[in-house]
Structure 1
Amino acid sequence: MINIVADQVRSKIVGKIEAAKWYTVISDEVTDASNKEKLSLVLRYVDSDTLLVREDLIGFVEYNTGITGRELANKITSSLQAFGLDLSNLRGQAYDGAGNMAGSVNGTAALISAQYPLALYLHCLTLSESSCCQVIADYQCSKYDGCNRKGLPIFSVHPKRQTALEKAISDTQPTSKVHKLKDMCRTRWVQRVDAIQVFKSLHQCTVTCMEGICNDGPRLWSPDALTDARSHN
């Protein structure tokens, strides 16, 4: 029953894409609950009825023959053809920056472009949005992004400093369930938002920690620690 419903939904999406004619494929590698590796396939096109840009998930495709650029290129093109799409109308590809996807010679994008030269490759939209955010998005978001990028290495690679941060959190925000900063993921926008929110919630704690390091001085801390604390305080 689920497969029948999926086929009906996919058929309607394909019909809209055929009306639009040109489309872009957006794909990423995912692992499902059963620990099977799959490709998510999303198609971007202009709805001919509303003239609005749409991005519709058309399916998940299991790949168990390898993750080389050639294997993934074959999987994507064969899947699109199986869905009834004309690859000569493919005008774009959007993947992450991994070598097997974005490699200039043997990457998936390059191999598909060799067959379909009009299918231009761009970084996946999450990376594009992430880059744009640093330039034109909300100032506060950009500010916390930059601060977190600079502040995280101060603690994450130095156990003694991390311990000091945890003490500052305990003293400043004893009810906090978060005790460390999160890394800024390049490709997962939701994780970037989480990291910014964590940094924002622990901002006062990090300031308190750095002030404590400065106050303790060379008696307890190395010159590098003091320099980092003063430059980011």
Structure 2
Amino acid sequence: MADRRAASMTASGIAHSRWVLRGMRGVVSAPAAILLLSMAGFGVLCREAGLSLGQAMFATAAIWALPSQVVLVGAIASGAALPTAALSVALSAIRFVPMLASWVPMVRGARTKRWQLLALSHFVAVTSWVVSALHLPKLPGEARLPYFAGFALTLTSAGTLVTGLSFALAGALPPILAGTLFFLTPIYFLTALTASARLQAERLALGAGLLLGPLFRLSGLPLDLVWAGLVGGSLAYIGHRILARRA
């Protein structure tokens, strides 16, 4: 009896390892490549903002959401206090709540433990969520958690390394190449937000941010990024309510 149980556990472990490896191979994909290139731009952004190499890599690994990482760097560059910067990052991460709500049923198996979901939920971002929605429903229930773990952990590790490499090499790169990498971050930010803006309120908020962001930056006010988001989001909400009443 004990031998059968041991054999069953061994077979289960081997199967899980195979799914982890398949998830790791899933990093070789177009969405992951685009994200890693954008992480290279984030490394250059951190260097330009005055962060250290360790701080840049820690921001990638600890936050793992490029828009939120940009919010953090913007808050630091504008002279915001640490609690204010932390609050800005936390508020920018609220958008992940519906992603997590739909991710849990996709990845949960019959034997999935709560602590496993809590640990892996940190890695749920736009790219990993899209990959989950595309691939996890096609996999057996017991394969979904190890597949996601292999994909997410590998992608996060690669993103952290790319951030560090681009930070270290930014000073040695030709100015045109360094500038190109630097520009990748806002381009990724803008295209990701545009692609995910499904509701009218989201599109209004995006448009308001595009208009108010440069204005608050030129105004010289402290916390210009925070003010642009607060005022732009409030105007978008009011505009959405007015349009909804007229419809």
TM-score by length of 1: 0.30
In terms of fraction of residues, the more helix-rich structure is 2
TM-score by length of 2: 0.29
**Comparing both chains, which one has the higher relative contact order based on Cα–Cα distances under 8 Å and sequence gaps of 6 or more?**
2
Higher-Rg structure is 1
In terms of fraction of residues, the more strand-rich structure is 1
